[in-house]
Structure 1
Amino acid sequence: MVDQNNDHHVPNKDHDEGFQMPIVRVELLTGRSQEQKNELAAVLTRETARIARCPEEHIQVIISDYQRSDWAVGGVMNSVPKETAQP
């Protein structure tokens, strides 16, 4: 199926054998509230459905929390004070 507005292929689960649900993965440092994660999941689901043109119930959102001590930026672990950090 082709979208007449922009000539992009639009998946159709009844006609495309390769049709799969979108999976959105979000990786965050710990500290967000459950309310913030709920809102993030709802907005990502709604907007992914709109852009990908698929039902919201097909979309999966996976949110993973990480401790700051398990995250590095520019080769430096977040657990290292900025004054002493060296890549």
Structure 2
Amino acid sequence: MPILQVNLLEGRSDEQKEALIEELTAACVKALNAPKESVRVMLNEMPKQNFGIGGHSAKKLGK
């Protein structure tokens, strides 16, 4: 059973997250010949102030 974990900064729409889950699932089915029903995708969203880039939070940098 493939299990994919994706770390994302907050701010994507539900539609974007659904599309990502669909595309990642399809990629596992194609690359691993895994049954679609066995693929698990976990999206971990984090606040922008909890992610640093070059010594500053993503929130401070406007990312």
Q: TM-score range by the shorter chain?
A: 0.7 to 0.9
Task: Report the TM-score, using the length of structure 2 for normalisation.
Answer: 0.85
Structure 1 unmatched runs, 5+? 1-20, 83-87
Structure having the higher strand fraction is 2
Task: Report the TM-score, using the length of structure 1 for normalisation.
Answer: 0.63
Deviation of 1:73 after TM superposition, in Å, equals 2.2
The 8 Å contact of residues 29 and 35 in structure 2, kept in 1 or not, is answered as yes
Over 3 Å off, 4+ runs: 79-82
Q: How many residues align?
A: 61
Corresponding residue for 1:23? 3
Corresponding residue for 2:52? 72
The 8 Å contact of residues 49 and 60 in structure 2, kept in 1 or not, is answered as no
Structure 2 unmatched runs, 5+? none
Bigger Rg, structure 1 or 2 = 1
Q: What is the RMSD computed on CA atoms of the aligned residues?
A: 1.6
